[in-house]
Structure 1
Amino acid sequence: MDIDSLLRASVSEGASDLHLTVGLPPVLRVNGDLLPMANTPVLSGDMIQALLLPILPEIMKQRLEQRGEVDFSHSARGLARFRVNIFRQRGTLACVMRLIPTEIKTLDDLGLPPVLRAFTEKTRGLVLVTGPTGSGKSTSLAALIDIINNERRTHIITLEDPIEFLHRHKRSVVNQREIGLDSRSFADALRSALREDPDVILVGEMRDLETVSIAISAAETGHLVFATLHTNDTVQSVDRVIDMFPPHQQQQIRVQFAATIVGIVSQQLVPRVDRPGRAV
């Protein structure tokens, strides 16, 4: 049993995620439910270590030792790419691997309203895609970026942790930077991006005050910025951005945010009624 054979089995079962933790067999998330993988043994700490260490880049091994968790992407040859999170729990390794579809879906494929296309026609401003973890934010952002890539001659820079969808150069030039490998932090990468002649910047996650502040400034100064937040609705998204700043700065940020925000997309995945699966 190796990790790629487990990933192959998980894809054949239609799973979005593969969980590895001591004391259980491999567990799959299928249509939102967690199910044990059939005909697989209960995992020990040594078994999980043997599965994960061969795919762990050297720099990530060091980071895992220092921090106790790491994020990176893994390509299973001839199968797909996966977003990998390895972490320590009760002194042992555990892991969740999420399937990254190889094909970038269109807005129509995702069932998203056509009005979102208007965001891709803007030349400046801030677009937020928000929702809980696992709600498809990265997939929706990839669809929006792909429209720009297909239709406009721009320089697109994506800042992600880790890189999920791979964008080929089409009409646009696309540079994709992975936090932890290509840059130390979202704030550092975003600050650098402003010196790299960008037209469009994708910020995989606005995690802290510094990143939010630079993103708003970038949108103010003539760049189109797409970013995500882990919030449940549009009102909460606005509050989250403002509340990141100290009280004496909040009024100024309200003015800047109001001047730069182009739109907020709030989404979640819900069970389908026509067939098994979930939809945005």
Structure 2
Amino acid sequence: MDPSWRRHRTRGFHTEFTIRGKSIDDKFPGSGSPGRTCLDGARPCRSACRRRIPPGSHGYLQRRFSKGAGLAVEEINILQLLSEASQRGASDLHFTAGQPPACRVEGVIQSLPYPPMTPRQCRELTFSVLTETQRAKLESELDLDFSMEVAGIGRLRGNAHFARGTVEAAFRFINRSNPSLEELGLPPVVKTFCQLPEGLILITGATGSGKSTTMAAMIEEISRTRSGVIVVLEDPIEYVYPPALSLIKQREIGRDTRSFSSGLRHALRQDPDVIAVTELRDQDSVQIALQAAETGHLVLATFHAADPVKALDRILEMFGAEMLPQIRAQMGNGLKAVVSQRLLPRADGRGRVLASEILTVSPAISSCLRLGRMEQIVGIMEIGAKDGMRTIDASLDELVEKGLITSEEALQNARDPSRVALAKPKKKGLFS
């Protein structure tokens, strides 16, 4: 093999990449430069660490095209694939063996104009952005979450995994700047949650519904308006927060702390005012989060569930019958609100818009939690506007009225379609 393609020693998590013997700085200026974040690390690289991507099938796709009287071969590396997906406005990029690289644009999967990927290409393209430590972890645990930053593209969240014995991967593009709560389209009451001195705020929704983005917006709102210490537990680190009034400690699971439950337990000894957890996954995490919420801390956490009631039901299902009275009491005391959200296609076809459902823990909701009367919660939400509550059906009504989604989309997403008043979009008047 040409010695120019030999792999250089990688130091820690900081790696640069070389394309055909040239530094990636030649292709994407600034990536990996001193003081900047390297491609797959969350910290600035101060060394000349680099790994080279060999030609051919090693970290490349080949695309043949006509040139004059014959055929030419173009070699495409992972950075070019990420750049192409980013230029299309993609939210995700997927590597799947036997399929061309594909990206998700406005919720729809689109194949990129390349031949189907071989298992070897999937593996080597994915491995080209992993450190030796990350490769070993993937081989032993079969799944790996990681984050990286590419100059000219921004930050990405990655997941490498095995499927049918082959390494495959998915990459999520992360906004360069954290959008505000207003820009996300969340109701004003969510901003008031950021000013609470203590309590648990759950952010729920399906995968890809923007939970992490909402949490990042809330963290930035808190940091911008309050002086304190915010401990953020992430897997992996996605958003980087600008300096503001608060100190923000970002800890990555597997690198800075062993697990969410361990990170939560130790966070209580780190003088926190606010603790943010990107996912409550198990009994221990839920118990520690509730304990923190009851002892003077504001806790933000995401949770996979379609709506507030399902989120509460799923949390209670984690515990056995002997623990339910205690957990119900803790939720009645410590839980302050649930923000549930989903992303729906816009009526004009230009992206997606957020529909939200808000549950605030009023005395009536607290009583339902303590007594296990979960079936009464939706009814209380429907008449709880004065407490800042909003049902998904009310949110859908508002989006239809503003012309942001179609009536058909509203009906498909309504909890009770009969309650969706299929309002026609308001037409703008001469002076509106």
TM-score grouping bracket, smaller chain normalisation: over 0.9
Report how many residues are paired: 279
Aligned position for 2:103: 28
Q: How does 1:29-48 map to 2 (within 5 A)?
A: 29-38=104-113, 40-48=114-122
Tell me the distance in 2 between the aligned counterparts of 1:220 and 1:109: 31
SS in 2 for 1:248: coil
TM-score (norm 1): 0.97
**Which residue identity lines up with residue 127 of structure 1 in the other structure?**
I
Match of 2:262 among 172, 180, 188: 188
Q: How does 1:27-106 map to 2 (within 5 A)?
A: 27-38=102-113, 40-106=114-180
SS in 1 for 2:140: helix
Is the CA contact 2:91–2:172 (under 8 Å) kept in the aligned structure 1?
yes
User: Can you list the C-alpha shifts for 1:119-138, whole angstroms capped at 9, x where unaligned?
Assistant: 01111000000000000000
Tell me the distance in 2 between the aligned counterparts of 1:169 and 1:245: 39
Q: How does 1:202-213 map to 2 (within 5 A)?
A: 202-213=276-287
Tell me the distance in 2 between the aligned counterparts of 1:188 and 1:114: 34
Is the CA contact 1:123–1:222 (under 8 Å) kept in the aligned structure 2?
yes
- Where does the alignment leave 5 or more consecutive residues of structure 2 unmatched? 1-75, 355-432
Aligned position for 2:311: 237
- Structure 1 runs of 4+ aligned residues shifted over 2 Å read none
Tell me the distance in 1 between the aligned counterparts of 2:264 and 2:167: 32
- More displaced 10-residue stretch of structure 1: 180-189 or 44-53: 44-53
Q: How does 1:216-227 map to 2 (within 5 A)?
A: 216-227=290-301
Alpha-carbon RMSD: 0.9
Distance apart, 1:238 and its partner CA: 1.1
Distance apart, 1:275 and its partner CA: 3.9
Is the CA contact 1:168–1:174 (under 8 Å) kept in the aligned structure 2?
no
Report the identity percentage. Answer: 44
Match of 1:215 among 289, 293, 297: 289
SS in 2 for 1:274: coil
Distance apart, 1:274 and its partner CA: 3.3
Greater gyration radius: 2
Tell me the distance in 2 between the aligned counterparts of 1:90 and 1:216: 40
Q: Which has the higher contact order (CA 8 A, sep 6+)?
A: 1
TM-score (norm 2): 0.64
User: Can you list the C-alpha shifts for 1:239-266, whole angstroms capped at 9, x where unaligned?
Assistant: 1111111110001110111101110001
Tell me the distance in 2 between the aligned counterparts of 1:5 and 1:182: 31
SS in 2 for 1:269: strand
Is the CA contact 2:126–2:168 (under 8 Å) kept in the aligned structure 1?
no
Aligned position for 1:18: 93
Tell me the distance in 2 between the aligned counterparts of 1:245 and 1:62: 35
Tell me the distance in 2 between the aligned counterparts of 1:89 and 1:72: 18
Tell me the distance in 1 between the aligned counterparts of 2:124 and 2:132: 15
Distance apart, 1:57 and its partner CA: 2.4
Is the CA contact 2:102–2:112 (under 8 Å) kept in the aligned structure 1?
yes
